[in-house]
Amino acid sequence: GENVEQHPSTLSVQEGDSAVIKCTYSDSASNYFPWYKQELGKGPQLIIDIRSNVGEKKDQRIAVTLNKTAKHFSLHITETQPEDSAVYFCAASLTGTASKLTFGTGTRLQVTL
Amino acid sequence: KAGVTQTPRYLIKTRGQQVTLSCSPISGHRSVSWYQQTPGQGLQFLFEYFSETQRNKGNFPGRFSGRQFSNSRSEMNVSTLELGDSALYLCASSLGDRDYNEQFFGPGTRLTVL
C-alpha cells in the first residue's frame, strides 16, 4: 500500500520567517495530495491540496509544490504568524480512492515571537 | 453550513466492552470516512461509506465495523475493546462522487479504554 513520510517532525521558526515541510510518497499511482492543519482539541482542517496534474498551487501565504518524478511534495508557509502554530499533516490518496487518505506522521510547527 | 459533528466527544470504557460512535456529515455529503489517531501510529484509515455501502476499507481487525444510514449519518462500532483502542476517532465527510473530493473532518471522539 501507500506509504507517506514527512519531515521534519518539529519545526520552530520566528514570526515572519518561512516554514517548509516535506513529504515523500511511495505509490506512483497516488494523484491527490492534501495538507491538513490540526490545532489542539480539533480535527484536521484542510488548508491546501494539489492534484497530480499540477506542479504548484498557491493560496495567499501558503503554497504546495509537487514533483511526481521524485514522488515528493512540500508545503511552504511564508510570513509565518503565531496562529500558524499547529500540527501539519500531509496525505496522499490513490486514483479513484480520494476518500482513503494515507497520512504522514505530522510536523509540529511553532512560531515564536 | 454546519460542519461535521461527532458524538459523543469523550468516552471511557473498560476492556471487553463495546462502543458505538456517531458521525453526522455536512449536508449533501454522501461519503463518510473514519480514521483512528494515536500518538504512536498517527492517523490511520479505518473505512469509508458511500450511499450506505462500504466502499473502502483499511487494515483493521473485524472488531471495527461501521454502517451508514439513508441520511448519510454514520456509526462506527468497536467490539471487545482493548487497551490499544484508546485513541481519537475522527470522521470526515465529502461529496464522494469524484476523485478529488475534499474531506472535512469532525472534532473527533476521544475514546479511553481502561
The predicted-structure confidence for B17-34, as pLDDT tens digits, reads as follows: 999 999 999 999 999 999
Q: Identify the pLDDT of residue A96.
A: 65
Q: Identify the pLDDT of residue A53.
A: 81
Put simply, whether B33 touches A (Cβ < 8 Å) is yes
Helix, strand and coil percent figures for chain B, each rounded to 5: 5, 55, 45
A65 or B102, higher pLDDT: A65
With CB atoms and an 8 Å threshold, state whether B99 touches A42: no
A8-30: average pLDDT:
96
User: For residue B92, what is the nearest residue in chain A, using CA coordinates?
Assistant: A99
Residues lower than pLDDT 70 in chain B: 1
A30-37: average pLDDT:
93
Q: Identify the pLDDT of residue B49.
A: 95
User: For residue B88, what is the nearest residue in chain A, using CA coordinates?
Assistant: A43
**C-alpha pair distances (Å), A111 with each of A17, A81, A108:** 9, 6, 10
A36-46: average pLDDT:
94
